[in-house]
Amino acid sequence: MAKLEGLSGPQFDEAYIQAMVKDHKRDLKEFQDEAPAAQNRNVKQAPQQGAGVISQHLQMIQQIAHNHNVAVEGKSKTTASMQ
């Protein structure tokens, strides 16, 4: 958050998009890791459903990154724009 507070305009947009991709990837992994650990069927469904929603959100922010030519985790701007 401190990094974003010091930015504005295109620099803010790029940093925000990169942060959202990173956070959604981390959250998705945590939800996917948690689902198999649950013993109760109802409890097991919560992280599975959450993972579905997070996966959709991750796809959306990745598309936004692509549309704005923002490099994300290991992808150069050129590579990101080719996808």
Report CA torsion sign: 73, 74, 76, 80: negative
Query: Containing H/E element for 77?
Result: helix 77-82
- pTM of the model as a whole: 0.77
From first to last of its 83 residues, what are the pLDDT tens digits of the chain?
A: 888 899 999 999 999 999 999 999 999 999 888 888 888 888 888 888 899 999 999 999 999 999 999 998 755 443 444 34
> Is the distance from CB of 38 to CB of 44 less than 8 angstroms?
yes
Residue 74, SS3 per DSSP: coil
